[in-house]
Chains A and B, each alone.
Chain A
Protein backbone atom coordinates (compact mmCIF):
# COMPACT_ATOMS: atom_id res chain seq x y z
CA UNK A 1 0.00 0.00 0.00
CA UNK A 2 1.93 2.93 -1.23
CA UNK A 3 1.30 6.34 -2.63
CA UNK A 4 2.71 6.58 -6.10
CA UNK A 5 2.19 7.96 -9.59
CA UNK A 6 -1.27 6.39 -9.74
CA UNK A 7 -2.33 9.35 -7.62
CA UNK A 8 -1.41 11.77 -10.38
CA UNK A 9 -3.21 9.73 -13.00
CA UNK A 10 -6.30 9.57 -10.80
CA UNK A 11 -6.19 13.31 -10.22
CA UNK A 12 -6.07 13.92 -13.95
CA UNK A 13 -9.01 11.58 -14.53
CA UNK A 14 -10.95 13.24 -11.73
CA UNK A 15 -10.27 16.71 -13.07
CA UNK A 16 -11.38 15.69 -16.54
CA UNK A 17 -14.57 14.13 -15.17
CA UNK A 18 -15.44 17.18 -13.11
CA UNK A 19 -14.66 19.49 -15.99
CA UNK A 20 -16.81 17.47 -18.35
CA UNK A 21 -19.70 17.29 -15.91
CA UNK A 22 -19.48 21.00 -15.26
CA UNK A 23 -19.34 21.86 -18.92
CA UNK A 24 -21.61 19.36 -20.67
CA UNK A 25 -23.74 17.48 -18.16
CA UNK A 26 -24.93 19.80 -15.43
CA UNK A 27 -26.13 22.84 -17.41
CA UNK A 28 -28.44 21.08 -19.91
CA UNK A 29 -30.07 18.93 -17.24
CA UNK A 30 -30.57 21.89 -14.93
CA UNK A 31 -31.92 23.91 -17.81
CA UNK A 32 -34.41 21.19 -18.65
CA UNK A 33 -35.45 21.01 -15.01
CA UNK A 34 -35.91 24.75 -14.77
CA UNK A 35 -37.82 24.78 -18.01
CA UNK A 36 -40.11 22.04 -16.81
CA UNK A 37 -40.63 23.87 -13.54
CA UNK A 38 -41.61 26.99 -15.44
CA UNK A 39 -43.88 24.95 -17.69
CA UNK A 40 -45.63 23.33 -14.76
CA UNK A 41 -46.06 26.66 -13.03
CA UNK A 42 -47.46 28.08 -16.24
CA UNK A 43 -49.81 25.16 -16.61
CA UNK A 44 -51.06 25.49 -13.06
CA UNK A 45 -51.60 29.20 -13.49
CA UNK A 46 -53.45 28.57 -16.74
CA UNK A 47 -55.63 25.96 -15.07
CA UNK A 48 -56.46 28.35 -12.26
CA UNK A 49 -57.22 31.07 -14.74
CA UNK A 50 -59.40 28.69 -16.72
CA UNK A 51 -61.37 27.78 -13.65
CA UNK A 52 -61.89 31.40 -12.81
CA UNK A 53 -63.02 32.02 -16.34
CA UNK A 54 -65.47 29.14 -16.08
CA UNK A 55 -66.88 30.66 -12.91
CA UNK A 56 -67.16 34.01 -14.63
CA UNK A 57 -68.81 32.46 -17.66
CA UNK A 58 -71.27 30.61 -15.44
CA UNK A 59 -72.14 33.81 -13.70
CA UNK A 60 -72.55 35.52 -17.03
CA UNK A 61 -74.71 32.71 -18.34
CA UNK A 62 -76.89 32.86 -15.23
CA UNK A 63 -77.30 36.58 -15.69
CA UNK A 64 -78.15 36.08 -19.32
CA UNK A 65 -80.76 33.45 -18.50
CA UNK A 66 -82.24 35.68 -15.85
CA UNK A 67 -82.37 38.58 -18.24
CA UNK A 68 -83.88 36.44 -20.94
CA UNK A 69 -86.53 35.19 -18.53
CA UNK A 70 -87.36 38.72 -17.52
CA UNK A 71 -87.58 39.75 -21.13
CA UNK A 72 -89.75 36.79 -21.97
CA UNK A 73 -92.09 37.63 -19.11
CA UNK A 74 -92.24 41.21 -20.29
CA UNK A 75 -92.97 40.11 -23.83
CA UNK A 76 -95.70 37.76 -22.65
CA UNK A 77 -97.33 40.45 -20.56
CA UNK A 78 -97.07 42.88 -23.43
CA UNK A 79 -98.61 40.35 -25.78
CA UNK A 80 -101.45 39.76 -23.36
CA UNK A 81 -102.02 43.44 -23.09
CA UNK A 82 -101.95 43.73 -26.83
CA UNK A 83 -104.36 40.84 -27.18
CA UNK A 84 -106.74 42.47 -24.75
CA UNK A 85 -106.46 45.65 -26.68
CA UNK A 86 -107.13 43.83 -29.93
CA UNK A 87 -110.16 42.13 -28.44
CA UNK A 88 -111.43 45.44 -27.11
CA UNK A 89 -110.81 47.08 -30.43
CA UNK A 90 -112.53 44.38 -32.40
CA UNK A 91 -115.44 44.44 -30.00
CA UNK A 92 -115.76 48.14 -30.51
CA UNK A 93 -115.40 47.74 -34.22
CA UNK A 94 -118.07 45.07 -34.26
CA UNK A 95 -120.36 47.25 -32.25
CA UNK A 96 -119.76 50.15 -34.58
CA UNK A 97 -120.32 47.92 -37.57
CA UNK A 98 -123.48 46.60 -36.02
CA UNK A 99 -124.72 50.11 -35.36
CA UNK A 100 -123.88 51.12 -38.84
CA UNK A 101 -125.64 48.05 -40.29
CA UNK A 102 -128.58 48.71 -38.08
CA UNK A 103 -128.78 52.26 -39.29
CA UNK A 104 -128.46 51.11 -42.88
CA UNK A 105 -131.16 48.53 -42.36
CA UNK A 106 -133.40 51.10 -40.75
CA UNK A 107 -132.78 53.45 -43.60
CA UNK A 108 -133.53 50.73 -46.09
CA UNK A 109 -136.68 49.81 -44.23
CA UNK A 110 -137.68 53.44 -44.25
CA UNK A 111 -136.94 53.67 -47.90
CA UNK A 112 -138.85 50.49 -48.67
CA UNK A 113 -141.72 51.74 -46.64
CA UNK A 114 -141.67 54.97 -48.60
CA UNK A 115 -141.55 52.98 -51.79
CA UNK A 116 -144.39 50.79 -50.60
CA UNK A 117 -146.37 53.84 -49.67
CA UNK A 118 -145.63 55.35 -53.02
CA UNK A 119 -146.68 52.18 -54.79
CA UNK A 120 -149.75 51.97 -52.68
CA UNK A 121 -150.61 55.53 -53.41
CA UNK A 122 -150.15 54.86 -57.08
CA UNK A 123 -152.37 51.79 -56.85
CA UNK A 124 -154.93 53.72 -54.85
CA UNK A 125 -154.91 56.39 -57.45
CA UNK A 126 -155.28 53.97 -60.32
CA UNK A 127 -157.91 52.07 -58.40
CA UNK A 128 -159.77 55.28 -57.80
CA UNK A 129 -159.36 56.07 -61.43
CA UNK A 130 -160.68 52.68 -62.47
CA UNK A 131 -163.48 52.99 -60.01
CA UNK A 132 -164.32 56.37 -61.45
CA UNK A 133 -164.12 54.97 -64.93
CA UNK A 134 -166.41 52.12 -64.07
CA UNK A 135 -168.75 54.52 -62.44
CA UNK A 136 -168.69 56.64 -65.49
CA UNK A 137 -169.09 53.60 -67.71
CA UNK A 138 -172.04 52.30 -65.93
CA UNK A 139 -173.67 55.75 -66.07
CA UNK A 140 -175.96 56.42 -63.44
CA UNK A 141 -176.92 53.34 -61.69
CA UNK A 142 -177.45 54.43 -58.23
CA UNK A 143 -177.29 51.14 -56.67
CA UNK A 144 -174.39 50.07 -58.74
CA UNK A 145 -172.73 53.35 -58.11
CA UNK A 146 -173.18 53.00 -54.54
CA UNK A 147 -172.05 49.48 -54.72
CA UNK A 148 -168.88 50.43 -56.53
CA UNK A 149 -168.22 53.21 -54.20
CA UNK A 150 -168.72 50.93 -51.35
CA UNK A 151 -166.36 48.45 -52.94
CA UNK A 152 -163.73 51.10 -53.51
CA UNK A 153 -164.14 52.32 -50.07
CA UNK A 154 -163.80 48.81 -48.90
CA UNK A 155 -160.69 48.41 -50.97
CA UNK A 156 -159.25 51.61 -49.66
CA UNK A 157 -159.97 50.73 -46.13
Chain B
Protein backbone atom coordinates (compact mmCIF):
# COMPACT_ATOMS: atom_id res chain seq x y z
CA UNK B 1 0.00 0.00 0.00
CA UNK B 2 1.25 3.44 -0.99
CA UNK B 3 4.79 2.48 -0.26
CA UNK B 4 6.67 5.29 -1.93
CA UNK B 5 9.37 6.05 0.58
CA UNK B 6 9.60 2.47 1.82
CA UNK B 7 8.84 1.45 5.38
CA UNK B 8 8.99 4.95 6.81
CA UNK B 9 6.69 6.23 4.14
CA UNK B 10 4.23 3.44 4.85
CA UNK B 11 4.22 4.16 8.57
CA UNK B 12 3.94 7.88 8.13
CA UNK B 13 1.17 7.40 5.62
CA UNK B 14 -0.78 5.29 8.08
CA UNK B 15 -0.39 7.77 10.87
CA UNK B 16 -1.29 10.83 8.88
CA UNK B 17 -4.85 11.97 9.32
CA UNK B 18 -7.21 13.10 6.63
CA UNK B 19 -7.21 16.85 7.10
CA UNK B 20 -9.03 19.92 5.96
CA UNK B 21 -7.97 23.46 6.76
CA UNK B 22 -4.82 25.26 7.78
CA UNK B 23 -2.99 25.99 11.02
CA UNK B 24 -5.08 25.73 14.16
CA UNK B 25 -8.24 25.43 12.12
CA UNK B 26 -7.10 22.18 10.64
CA UNK B 27 -9.73 19.51 11.13
CA UNK B 28 -9.07 15.80 11.18
CA UNK B 29 -12.04 14.55 9.24
CA UNK B 30 -11.29 10.89 9.92
CA UNK B 31 -11.14 11.36 13.67
CA UNK B 32 -14.33 13.39 13.68
CA UNK B 33 -16.11 10.97 11.39
CA UNK B 34 -15.12 7.76 13.15
CA UNK B 35 -15.67 9.03 16.65
CA UNK B 36 -19.05 10.46 15.70
CA UNK B 37 -19.94 7.25 13.91
CA UNK B 38 -18.92 5.14 16.90
CA UNK B 39 -20.70 7.53 19.23
CA UNK B 40 -23.77 7.09 17.05
CA UNK B 41 -23.37 3.32 17.29
CA UNK B 42 -23.18 3.58 21.07
CA UNK B 43 -26.23 5.84 21.24
CA UNK B 44 -28.16 3.69 18.80
CA UNK B 45 -27.55 0.53 20.82
CA UNK B 46 -28.24 2.02 24.22
CA UNK B 47 -31.17 4.13 23.12
CA UNK B 48 -32.77 1.02 21.66
CA UNK B 49 -32.19 -0.86 24.89
CA UNK B 50 -33.42 2.03 27.00
CA UNK B 51 -36.64 2.13 25.01
CA UNK B 52 -37.16 -1.60 25.31
CA UNK B 53 -36.01 -1.79 28.91
CA UNK B 54 -38.49 -3.73 30.97
CA UNK B 55 -38.49 -5.22 34.41
CA UNK B 56 -39.37 -8.56 32.86
CA UNK B 57 -37.01 -11.25 31.67
CA UNK B 58 -34.26 -9.49 29.68
CA UNK B 59 -33.13 -10.73 26.29
CA UNK B 60 -29.52 -10.97 25.14
CA UNK B 61 -28.99 -7.36 24.05
CA UNK B 62 -30.81 -6.02 27.06
CA UNK B 63 -28.59 -8.20 29.20
CA UNK B 64 -25.48 -6.73 27.58
CA UNK B 65 -26.71 -3.17 28.09
CA UNK B 66 -27.70 -3.90 31.67
CA UNK B 67 -24.41 -5.59 32.39
CA UNK B 68 -22.52 -2.51 31.20
CA UNK B 69 -24.81 -0.17 33.08
CA UNK B 70 -24.53 -2.17 36.29
CA UNK B 71 -20.77 -2.49 35.88
CA UNK B 72 -20.36 1.28 35.55
CA UNK B 73 -22.88 1.89 38.29
CA UNK B 74 -20.95 -0.43 40.58
CA UNK B 75 -17.71 1.40 39.86
CA UNK B 76 -19.35 4.74 40.56
CA UNK B 77 -20.90 3.51 43.78
CA UNK B 78 -17.58 2.10 44.94
CA UNK B 79 -15.77 5.38 44.47
CA UNK B 80 -18.25 8.18 44.62
CA UNK B 81 -20.28 8.61 47.78
CA UNK B 82 -22.95 11.08 46.96
CA UNK B 83 -25.70 11.76 44.57
CA UNK B 84 -24.98 12.77 41.02
CA UNK B 85 -27.07 12.56 37.90
CA UNK B 86 -24.00 13.06 35.76
CA UNK B 87 -21.15 10.85 36.89
CA UNK B 88 -22.56 7.44 36.12
CA UNK B 89 -23.86 8.25 32.61
CA UNK B 90 -20.58 10.06 31.97
CA UNK B 91 -18.68 6.95 33.01
CA UNK B 92 -20.80 4.77 30.76
CA UNK B 93 -20.32 7.09 27.80
CA UNK B 94 -16.57 7.26 28.33
CA UNK B 95 -16.19 3.52 28.78
CA UNK B 96 -18.21 2.54 25.74
CA UNK B 97 -16.98 5.30 23.49
CA UNK B 98 -13.32 4.77 24.29
CA UNK B 99 -13.78 1.04 23.95
CA UNK B 100 -15.30 1.49 20.48
CA UNK B 101 -12.51 3.88 19.49
CA UNK B 102 -9.93 1.40 20.63
CA UNK B 103 -11.76 -1.44 18.97
CA UNK B 104 -11.02 0.17 15.60
CA UNK B 105 -7.45 -0.81 16.35
CA UNK B 106 -8.31 -4.47 15.80
CA UNK B 107 -9.50 -3.90 12.27
CA UNK B 108 -6.67 -4.86 9.89
CA UNK B 109 -4.50 -1.79 9.41
CA UNK B 110 -4.81 -1.65 5.65
CA UNK B 111 -8.49 -2.47 5.28
CA UNK B 112 -10.25 0.84 5.81
CA UNK B 113 -7.42 3.05 4.47
CA UNK B 114 -7.35 0.79 1.43
CA UNK B 115 -11.06 1.22 0.80
CA UNK B 116 -10.75 4.95 1.38
CA UNK B 117 -7.82 5.01 -1.03
CA UNK B 118 -10.02 3.46 -3.69
CA UNK B 119 -12.55 6.20 -3.01
CA UNK B 120 -9.90 8.84 -3.58
CA UNK B 121 -8.99 9.72 0.00
CA UNK B 122 -5.26 9.90 0.30
CA UNK B 123 -5.01 9.45 4.05
CA UNK B 124 -7.19 7.77 6.63
CA UNK B 125 -6.44 7.11 10.26
CA UNK B 126 -9.22 4.96 11.62
CA UNK B 127 -8.48 4.81 15.35
CA UNK B 128 -9.68 8.01 16.99
CA UNK B 129 -7.69 7.29 20.14
CA UNK B 130 -4.46 7.61 18.16
CA UNK B 131 -5.36 11.27 17.68
CA UNK B 132 -4.30 13.49 20.56
CA UNK B 133 -7.18 15.81 19.74
CA UNK B 134 -9.70 13.09 20.49
CA UNK B 135 -8.17 11.95 23.77
CA UNK B 136 -7.51 15.49 24.94
CA UNK B 137 -10.99 16.61 23.96
CA UNK B 138 -12.33 14.07 26.39
CA UNK B 139 -9.80 14.64 29.16
CA UNK B 140 -10.19 18.41 28.92
CA UNK B 141 -13.98 18.03 29.11
CA UNK B 142 -13.45 15.96 32.23
CA UNK B 143 -11.09 18.64 33.54
CA UNK B 144 -13.75 21.31 32.98
CA UNK B 145 -16.18 19.15 34.93
CA UNK B 146 -13.63 18.73 37.73
CA UNK B 147 -13.20 22.50 38.03
CA UNK B 148 -16.95 23.05 37.73
CA UNK B 149 -17.80 20.60 40.49
CA UNK B 150 -14.96 21.77 42.71
CA UNK B 151 -16.37 25.28 42.59
CA UNK B 152 -19.97 24.10 42.83
CA UNK B 153 -19.38 21.94 45.89
CA UNK B 154 -16.82 24.02 47.76
CA UNK B 155 -17.80 27.45 46.56
CA UNK B 156 -15.42 29.79 44.78
CA UNK B 157 -13.67 30.71 48.04
CA UNK B 158 -13.41 27.14 49.16
CA UNK B 159 -11.86 26.26 45.84
CA UNK B 160 -9.38 29.14 45.95
CA UNK B 161 -8.59 28.25 49.53
CA UNK B 162 -7.91 24.68 48.58
CA UNK B 163 -5.66 25.85 45.77
CA UNK B 164 -3.66 28.24 47.92
CA UNK B 165 -3.69 26.97 51.49
CA UNK B 166 -3.09 23.24 51.08
CA UNK B 167 -1.05 21.24 51.71
CA UNK B 168 1.31 23.61 53.60
CA UNK B 169 -0.90 26.32 55.08
CA UNK B 170 -1.38 29.97 54.07
CA UNK B 171 2.28 31.02 54.60
CA UNK B 172 3.41 28.91 51.70
CA UNK B 173 0.78 30.25 49.35
CA UNK B 174 2.75 30.55 46.07
CA UNK B 175 4.30 27.17 46.52
CA UNK B 176 0.93 25.65 47.34
CA UNK B 177 -0.61 27.24 44.30
CA UNK B 178 2.12 25.94 42.05
CA UNK B 179 1.80 22.46 43.50
CA UNK B 180 -1.96 22.43 43.19
CA UNK B 181 -1.98 23.75 39.65
CA UNK B 182 0.49 21.09 38.61
CA UNK B 183 -1.60 18.47 40.39
CA UNK B 184 -4.79 19.57 38.69
CA UNK B 185 -3.33 20.06 35.24
CA UNK B 186 -1.59 16.73 35.44
CA UNK B 187 -4.99 15.03 35.57
CA UNK B 188 -6.25 15.83 32.05
CA UNK B 189 -2.79 15.58 30.54
CA UNK B 190 -2.09 12.17 32.03
CA UNK B 191 -5.59 10.95 31.12
CA UNK B 192 -5.27 12.05 27.53
CA UNK B 193 -1.67 11.00 27.04
CA UNK B 194 -2.12 7.59 28.61
CA UNK B 195 -4.90 6.59 26.26
CA UNK B 196 -3.20 8.17 23.27
CA UNK B 197 0.17 6.61 24.05
CA UNK B 198 -1.13 3.11 24.53
CA UNK B 199 -3.25 3.06 21.42
CA UNK B 200 -0.73 4.92 19.28
CA UNK B 201 1.95 2.45 20.25
CA UNK B 202 -0.40 -0.47 19.68
CA UNK B 203 -1.36 0.77 16.25
CA UNK B 204 2.26 1.42 15.41
CA UNK B 205 3.15 -2.15 16.25
CA UNK B 206 0.33 -3.42 14.04
CA UNK B 207 1.72 -1.27 11.24
CA UNK B 208 5.23 -2.58 11.85
CA UNK B 209 3.95 -6.16 11.77
CA UNK B 210 2.19 -5.35 8.51
CA UNK B 211 5.58 -4.46 7.07
CA UNK B 212 6.97 -7.94 7.71
CA UNK B 213 6.90 -10.75 5.15
CA UNK B 214 3.36 -12.11 4.76
CA UNK B 215 4.14 -15.52 6.26
CA UNK B 216 5.48 -14.09 9.50
CA UNK B 217 2.70 -11.54 9.88
CA UNK B 218 -0.03 -13.82 11.32
CA UNK B 219 2.38 -15.32 13.83
CA UNK B 220 2.95 -11.88 15.30
CA UNK B 221 -0.26 -10.02 14.64
CA UNK B 222 -2.42 -12.77 16.10
CA UNK B 223 -0.85 -12.75 19.61
CA UNK B 224 -0.58 -9.00 19.51
CA UNK B 225 -4.27 -8.70 18.62
CA UNK B 226 -5.20 -11.00 21.48
CA UNK B 227 -3.05 -8.98 23.82
CA UNK B 228 -4.67 -5.87 22.43
CA UNK B 229 -8.14 -7.08 23.30
CA UNK B 230 -6.99 -6.75 26.86
CA UNK B 231 -5.38 -3.35 26.27
CA UNK B 232 -8.39 -1.74 24.63
CA UNK B 233 -10.76 -2.74 27.40
CA UNK B 234 -8.23 -1.87 30.06
CA UNK B 235 -7.60 1.60 28.67
CA UNK B 236 -11.31 2.32 28.38
CA UNK B 237 -11.73 1.09 31.94
CA UNK B 238 -8.84 3.19 33.25
CA UNK B 239 -10.14 6.33 31.58
CA UNK B 240 -13.57 5.76 33.10
CA UNK B 241 -12.37 4.89 36.58
CA UNK B 242 -9.96 7.83 36.75
CA UNK B 243 -12.72 10.17 35.60
CA UNK B 244 -14.94 8.88 38.38
CA UNK B 245 -12.13 9.17 40.91
CA UNK B 246 -11.24 12.71 39.86
CA UNK B 247 -14.85 13.81 39.97
CA UNK B 248 -15.44 12.28 43.37
CA UNK B 249 -12.29 14.01 44.59
CA UNK B 250 -13.74 17.25 43.28
CA UNK B 251 -16.89 16.56 45.32
CA UNK B 252 -15.01 15.95 48.52
CA UNK B 253 -14.50 18.79 50.93
CA UNK B 254 -11.18 18.69 52.69
Contacts and interface: CB of A to CB of B under 8 A. Distances in A.
Interface of A: 1-11, 13-18, 20-22, 24-33, 35-36, 38-39
Contacts of B35: 10, 13
B46 A25 contact: yes
12 contacts: A4-B25, A5-B25, A6-B131, A13-B36, A20-B47, A26-B69, A26-B92, A29-B50, A29-B69, A30-B69, A33-B70, A36-B55
B214 to A, nearest CB: 30
Given A10-B134, A28-B51, 15 more contacts: A2-B132, A3-B132, A4-B25, A5-B25, A6-B32, A6-B131, A6-B133, A10-B35, A11-B140, A14-B97, A14-B138, A17-B97, A28-B50, A30-B69, A33-B70
Interface of B: 21, 23-28, 31-32, 35-36, 39, 42-43, 46-47, 49-51, 53-56, 65-66, 69-70, 73, 85-86, 88-90, 92-93, 97, 128, 131-134, 136-138, 140-141
Contact of A11 (B21, B36, B43, B137): B137
B43 A4 contact: no
A19 to B, nearest CB: 9
Contacts of A2: 26, 132
Contacts of A39: 55
A10 B32 contact: yes
Contacts of A13: 32, 35-36, 39, 137
A26 B89 contact: yes
B31 to A, nearest CB: 6
A9 B35 CA distance: 10
A151 to B, nearest CB: 132
Contacts of B65: 29
Smallest CB-CB A-B distances: 5 pairs? A10-B137, A32-B53, A35-B55, A6-B133, A22-B89
Contact of B26 (A4, A24, A32, A38): A4
Contacts of A38: 55
Contacts of A29: 46, 49-50, 53, 65-66, 69
A36 B141 CA distance: 34
